[in-house]
Structure 1
Amino acid sequence: MSDTILTDAAAATAFRRLVAHLQHRTDVQNIDLMGAAGFCRNCLADWVAEADGAMDRDTAREVIHGMPFAQWKNQHQGDATPEQIARMKESVAKNADSH
Structure 2
Amino acid sequence: MDDQTRIELEAAAFRRLRRHLMEDRPDVQNIDLMNLAGFCRNCLSRWYQEAAAERGIEMGKEEAREVFYGMPYADWKARNQTEADAETQAAFEKSFAENVGDRG
The normalised TM-score by structure 2 is 0.77
Quote the RMSD (CA, aligned, Å). Answer: 2.0
Q: What is aligned with 2:76?
A: 72
Cα shift at 1:57: 1.4
Runs of 4+ in 1 over 6 A off after TM superposition: none
**Aligned partners of 2:98 and 2:77: how far apart in 1?**
26
**Number of equivalent positions:** 92
Q: What is aligned with 1:36?
A: 36
Q: Give the 3-state SS of the residue equivalent to 2:26 in structure 1.
A: coil
Q: Taking CA–CA contacts closer than 8 Å with sequence separation of 6 or more, which of the two structures ends up with the larger relative contact order?
A: 1
| Residues 38 and 88, structure 1, Cα contact 8 Å, conserved in 2 | no
Cα shift at 1:8: 1.0
Q: What is aligned with 2:67?
A: 63
Q: Percent identity?
A: 50
Q: Which amino acid aligns with 2:27?
A: D
Q: Which amino acid aligns with 2:11?
A: A
Q: What is aligned with 2:26?
A: 26
Gaps of 5+ in 2: none
Q: What is aligned with 1:49?
A: 49
